[in-house]
Amino acid sequence: MDKSFQKIRNDFPILNQRINNEPLVYLDNAATSQKPNQVINELVRYYQNDNANTRRSVHTLGERATEEFEIARKKVQVFLNAKDSREIIFTKGTTDSLNLIASTYGEENIQAGDEIVISYMEHHSNLIPWQQLALRKNAVLKYIGLTKDGQLDMEDARRKITDRTKLVSITHVSNVLGVTNDVKKLAIIAHSHNAVIIADGAQAVANIPVDLQDLNVDFYAFSGHKMMGPMGIGVLYGKYDLLKSMSPNQYGGEMIDSVKKYHSTWADVPFKFEAGTQNVAGVIGLSKAIDYLNDIGMKNISKYENELVKYILPKLLKIEGLTVYGPQDTKNHNAVISFNLNGIHPHDVATALDMDGVAVRAGHHCAQPLMNYLGVTATVRASFYIYNNQFDADQLIKAIYDTKEFFNV
- Looking at the annotation, which residues are catalytic? 366
Determine contact, residues 152/191, Cβ cutoff 8 Å. no
Three-state DSSP state, 185: helix
Query: What type of residue sits at position 126?
Result: N
Q: Which of 367, 199, 223, 218 has its CA nearest to residue 289?
A: 223
* Closest among 236, 268, 271, 235 to 250, alpha carbons compared: 271
Write b or e for each residue in 361-390: b if 16 or more Cβ atoms lie within 10 A of its Cβ, otherwise e. bbbbbbbebbbebbeeebbbbbbbbbbbbe
Cα gap 70→84, rounded to integer Å: 12
Q: What is the Cα–Cα distance from 177 to 307, expressed in whole angstroms? A: 18
- The DSSP H or E segment spanning 200 is strand 196-200
> Between the CA of residue 46 and those of 41, 53, 148, 318, 394, what are the distances in Å?
9, 12, 50, 49, 39
Distance from C-alpha of 78 to C-alpha of 84, rounded to nearest angstrom: 9
For 34, 208, 209, 336, the CA distances from 303, given in Å and listed in that order, are: 20, 9, 11, 14
Q: In angstroms, what is the C-alpha Rg of the chain? A: 22
Measured distance CA(239)–CA(27) in Å, rounded: 35
Give me the sign of the Cα torsion angle 339, 341, 347, 353: negative
- Which helix (DSSP H) or strand (DSSP E) does residue 371 occupy? helix 368-374
Other CB atoms within 10 A of residue 329 CB = 13
Q: What distance separates the 2 farthest-apart alpha carbons in the chain? A: 73
